[in-house]
A and B are shown apart, each in its own frame.
Chain A
Amino acid sequence: MVTTLVTPSRARTIVRLLRVTDKRFLIGSAIVLVMAIASFVIPAISPYGPNEIIPQDALSGPTFQHLLGSDDLGRDVLVRVMAGSRISLGVAIGSGFIAVLLGVPLGLIAGFSSGVVDNLIMRPLDVLMAFPAILLAVVIVAFAGTGTTVLIIAIGVVYTPVIARVMRATTMASRTQTYVDVARARGASTLRILVRHVLPNSIGPVVVQASLLMGFAILLEAAFSFIGLGVRPPNPSLGSMLASERDFLAEAPWVVIAPGVAVMVLVLGFNFIGDGLRDALDPLGRARTR
């Protein structure tokens, strides 16, 4: 029977999400979790504030006083990296949340209704998608001003079409399933069918896509802060640290290496989560190339 070949593996997406034992997923989750905890704990227990200037310690290498050294103004690099990571994580999760919040209903409605409604929703999103992410975000920031909140919204909006497209595709696949017709034959309303049957059966790939996008969001936030459109100095952000300290690369490489490594680790963590989820949810158990 064909149905038994396909359906059980696709079947318990939510249950599978909770029980994913994929190694990369576990490692990725561990990385993100450790970074998240550290970004709160380390600034709290450290004797230095993230913006605290200690001139006599300027550009000191890694010592017991400053585990990752200090920058040109004598600010502790470890504390600043951790405070910056906290902002990066906030931007990643916040923008991912916004992209899902906007993209999922749009994709669900577009994929379920098709025809005119589908075009009304998807064509503007296609236009949005035609612009490079960073350019679009720059435009939004240019209109709304800089700042973390604006950045979260800008990145969230930029990634909305990506989520909406994935959601639309999976919705189109599940709306033709027999259980949708059967639910209708049992008197379920369209809204009920959408929320209770189509959404749960279609959300899996969106979760994967969202976790991958969160990794990109970290990069985007770093890029924006680097060019001065994100978190404004003196507040620490991984991007702004890279920008302001790059002049000291030769004498004190640690001031640049530390935030750079932090960006890398965070992106790696989110990508591992995304890749791991994707493989774990793949019905055929093989890695798909994106």
Chain B
Amino acid sequence: MTPLLEIRSLSVDYGYGAVIRDLSITVSAGEIVGLVGESGCGKTTLGWSVLGLLPRSARVDGSILFDGTELIGLQARKRRKLLGVRLSLIPQAAMASLDPMFTVGHQIREIILTHQRGGRAGADARTVGRLREVGVAAPEARLRAFPHELSGGTRQRVATAAAMILNPSMLIADEPTSSLDVTIQAQVLGVLRSVILEHGTAVMFITHDLGVVAQISDRIAVMYAGEIVEEASAQELFEDPKHPYTKKLLAAHPGFSNKGQRLATIPGSVPDPAQRPGGCSFEPRCPVAIPLCQEDRPPWVAVESDRHVRCVHCAPNH
């Protein structure tokens, strides 16, 4: 299958060291790829570089192909035609992502009328349909509601509806459920999953929550310090993690294997992009580090046909 989104050796630098370093990942049409990692590992930067929202000061190298179009250095005019229409964003904080000055109906209508000709009534009808689809109660009445009049869950649903309104073929979902409490999170996630599956939308699902990616993703990429350290199908990753960081991350997650015990932690923190270790980024925190790890960046090892790990321990000649 030809990938819908193909990121090849992407590097992003804000001027104090690479925030994303030589990162490659592909997303096929209709595929849901979870991108997991700690805070500060470059997840959001990755999503934003796909959307072209990075500040002008950021230096971006590499290639991001979306359906055959190179997104890096794409003309603003051409990018605008793509964004919202074929490539859209479900933002992190739904409240902040909605303009407080305008009603829900107005904001979604704006998106439609930015890209397509048509009347207000038609746009509103589409909005109501989409709001109903994402499980907003009484969608006709909600059109006239201001964002602050909605509950957190409803806001996130509205933000989802806004992202999906023009049936994009790909979504960047940047922590779409992280600001919600757990019960609402599960509901919104369920709705999101069913809408995505129904429309066959490809999703890059960015989150720090392993539980969330487990529920929604086909494939998972684990990010650490601006690199992908392991990539596997969701099932394989949880059953048989290869990279020491993935193992640690799973061990640190409550509820997988450690009921009644103290939660495991990973000592230390994600390295500052300015002081990245020369070899493996995870080496300073790694329990199984060997001297070689300090010297060379570990290779991107294909463990199985569709499984990759960036660790010397998985290299065949090790």
Interface residues of B in 30-89 (CB under 8 A from A): 51, 53, 76, 79-85, 88-89
Q: Is the CB of B115 closer than 8 A to any CB of chain A?
A: yes
Q: Is the CB of B91 closer than 8 A to any CB of chain A?
A: yes
Q: A12-B100, A178-B96 are in contact. Are A196 and B81 (CB under 8 A)?
A: no
Closest chain A CB from B125 CB (angstroms): 19
Q: A7-B95, A7-B148 are in contact. Are A187 and B83 (CB under 8 A)?
A: yes
Q: How far is the CA of A226 from the CA of B111 in the complex (A)?
A: 55
Q: Is the CB of B23 closer than 8 A to any CB of chain A?
A: no
Question: Do the beta carbons of A201 and B101 come within 8 Å of each other?
Answer: yes
Question: Do the beta carbons of A187 and B101 come within 8 Å of each other?
Answer: no
Most chain A CB within 10 A, of B80, B92, B172, is at B80
Question: Do the beta carbons of B83 and A184 come within 8 Å of each other?
Answer: yes
Question: Do the beta carbons of B80 and A187 come within 8 Å of each other?
Answer: yes
Q: A4-B148, A8-B148, A11-B148 are in contact. Are A188 and B114 (CB under 8 A)?
A: yes
Chain B proximity mask over A184-204: 1 for CB below 8 Å, otherwise 0: 111111001000110011000
Chain A proximity mask over B152-171: 1 for CB below 8 Å, otherwise 0: 10000000001100000000
Query: Chain A interface secondary structure, helix, strand, loop or mixed?
Result: helix
Question: Do the beta carbons of A12 and B93 come within 8 Å of each other?
Answer: no
Question: Do the beta carbons of A197 and B99 come within 8 Å of each other?
Answer: yes
Chain B proximity mask over A253-264: 1 for CB below 8 Å, otherwise 0: 000000000000
Question: Do the beta carbons of A3 and B81 come within 8 Å of each other?
Answer: no
Q: How far is the CA of A183 from the CA of B159 in the complex (A)?
A: 11
Question: Do the beta carbons of B89 and A182 come within 8 Å of each other?
Answer: yes
Q: Is the CB of A14 closer than 8 A to any CB of chain B?
A: yes
Interface residues of A in 155-185 (CB under 8 A from B): 177-179, 181-185
Q: A8-B148, A11-B147, A187-B81 are in contact. Are A177 and B96 (CB under 8 A)?
A: yes
Closest chain A CB from B99 CB (angstroms): 4
Q: Is the CB of B179 closer than 8 A to any CB of chain A?
A: yes
Question: Do the beta carbons of B83 and A3 come within 8 Å of each other?
Answer: no
Instruction: Point out the residues of chain B lying under 8 angstroms from A178, CB to CB.
Output: 91-93, 96-97
Q: Is the CB of A237 closer than 8 A to any CB of chain B?
A: no
Q: Is the CB of B14 closer than 8 A to any CB of chain A?
A: no
- Checking A3, A13, A189, A192 against B101 with a beta-carbon cut-off of 8 angstroms, the contacting residue is A13
Q: A184-B83, A185-B51, A186-B114 are in contact. Are A8 and B100 (CB under 8 A)?
A: yes
Question: Do the beta carbons of B152 and A1 come within 8 Å of each other?
Answer: yes
Instruction: Point out the residues of chain A lying under 8 angstroms from B91, CB to CB.
Output: 178, 181-182, 185
Question: Do the beta carbons of B114 and A187 come within 8 Å of each other?
Answer: yes
Closest chain B CB from A200 CB (angstroms): 5
Q: Is the CB of A123 closer than 8 A to any CB of chain B?
A: no
Closest chain B CB from A17 CB (angstroms): 11
Q: Is the CB of B98 closer than 8 A to any CB of chain A?
A: yes
Question: Do the beta carbons of A11 and B152 come within 8 Å of each other?
Answer: no
Q: How far is the CA of A186 from the CA of B96 in the complex (A)?
A: 15
Q: Which residue on chain B has the smallest CB distance to residue A177?
A: B96
Question: Do the beta carbons of A4 and B95 come within 8 Å of each other?
Answer: yes
Q: Which residue on chain B has the smallest CB distance to residue A3?
A: B95
Closest chain A CB from B160 CB (angstroms): 12
Closest chain B CB from A139 CB (angstroms): 39
Q: How far is the CA of A189 from the CA of B162 in the complex (A)?
A: 17
Closest chain B CB from A164 CB (angstroms): 21
Q: Is the CB of A10 closer than 8 A to any CB of chain B?
A: yes
Q: How far is the CA of A141 from the CA of B98 in the complex (A)?
A: 47
Instruction: Point out the residues of chain A lying under 8 angstroms from B152, CB to CB.
Output: 1, 4
- Checking B53, B97, B114 against A179 with a beta-carbon cut-off of 8 angstroms, the contacting residue is B97
Instruction: Point out the residues of chain B lying under 8 angstroms from A14, CB to CB.
Output: 101
Q: Is the CB of B295 closer than 8 A to any CB of chain A?
A: no
Sample of 15 A–B contacts (CB below 8 Å):
A4-B148, A8-B100, A11-B147, A12-B146, A181-B53, A183-B99, A184-B53, A185-B172, A186-B83, A186-B88, A186-B114, A187-B82, A187-B114, A188-B84, A197-B99
Known: A15-B146, A201-B100. 17 other contacts (CB 8 A): A3-B93, A3-B96, A4-B95, A4-B152, A8-B148, A10-B100, A14-B101, A177-B96, A182-B97, A183-B99, A185-B53, A185-B88, A186-B89, A187-B82, A187-B85, A201-B99, A201-B101
Residues of A in contact with B (beta carbons under 8 Å apart): 1, 3-4, 7-8, 10-15, 177-179, 181-189, 192, 196-197, 200-201
